[in-house]
Amino acid sequence: MKIIPAIDLMEGKVVRLIKGQQEKKTIYSDDPIKIAKQWEKSGADLIHLVDLDATLGIGSNWELVKNIVKELSIPVQVAGGLRDEAAITEALNIASKVVLGTLAFTNKQILKKLLSDFGNDRIVISVDHVDGNIVVDGWQKNTGTNLIEGINEFLEIGFYEFLLTNVNRDGTLEGPDLEFLQKACNIKGTKIIASGGISNINDVLQVKNCNAYGVILGKALYENKISIQEVKKIA
């Protein structure tokens, strides 16, 4: 199982939100490059780098994103606000992977072109959900698409790697949503990255037991409730 620390950026700082709400923001560092190097040194397999300002349509940390990627030798997957072909192409020119949410559900034509141009191993589909219903636009809009049906639709198109987040667990330290995670991991041919709610090493073990491909470490990592080193021992 891949160990994937998240670095969420707002106004050039490393932050964590609770359930994606801006008013529930905690700032952990004003030096994202230092944090990225710290997680790399600790043994992370991959960095999940999110531009929250771009996600929410209130700004951009693109220059910082580029600088972080340049400083690292491990793979980086870039997420947040990648809603047109030019932005996605630019991101794929520097990063190993991109994570697509809103665009994946609103413009299948561009999605299929990206699949043809870059291959399915460089595109992760973000399936963020509330009670099993997929949400987009910074978690503000319900697509009306059922989580499992949505995953199967993207499998038919040719994608296989998915980032699964239960919005109601994100940033809460309340434990992962194992019910929907297990359902997703049971779909043949998928690689599921679990995100949201991780609070301790037992949570990670439960995620592993669901046969998840990877686990995102966020708030628990920043608040020293868990370490990359201890996760590596069971991953």
Q: Is the pLDDT of residue 52 over 90?
A: yes
User: What's the residue count for the chain?
Assistant: 235
Tens of pLDDT along 87-136? 999 999 999 999 999 899 999 999 999 999 999 999 999 999 998 999 98
Percent of the chain with pLDDT over 90: 84
CA 43 – CA 46 distance, rounded (Å): 9
> What pLDDT score was predicted for residue 117?
96
Q: What is the mean pLDDT of residues 36-49?
A: 98
Q: Measuring CA to CA, which residue among 93, 95, 116 is closest to residue 51?
A: 95
The answer for residues whose C-beta is within 8 angstroms of residue 133's C-beta and 6 or more apart is 142, 143, 144, 145, 146, 147
Name residue 172's amino acid.
T
Residue 228 has pLDDT above 80, yes or no: yes
Catalytic residues: 8, 128
Helix/strand/coil (H/E/C) assignment for every residue in the chain: CEEEEEEEEECCEEEEEECCEEEEEEEEECCHHHHHHHHHHHCCCCEEEEEHHHHHCCCCCHHHHHHHHHHCCCCEEEECCCCCHHHHHHHHCCCCEEEECHHHHHCHHHHHHHHHHHCHHHEEEEEEEECCEEEECCCCEEEEEEHHHHHHHHHHHCCCEEEEEEHHHCCCCCCCCHHHHHHHHCCCCCEEEEECCCCCHHHHHHHHHCCCCEEEECHHHHCCCCCHHHHHHHC
| Cβ contacts of 160 within 8 Å, gap of 6 or more | 120, 189, 190, 191
How would residue 81 be classed by pLDDT, with cut points 50, 70 and 90? Answer: confident
Per-residue pLDDT tens over the stretch 137-174: 777 777 889 999 999 999 999 999 999 999 888 878 89
Separation between Cα atoms, residue 49 and residue 75, nearest integer Å: 10
Q: Distance between CA 164 and CA 156 in Å, rounded?
A: 18
The values of phi and psi at residue 233, to 5°, are -65, -25
pLDDT at 24 over 80: no
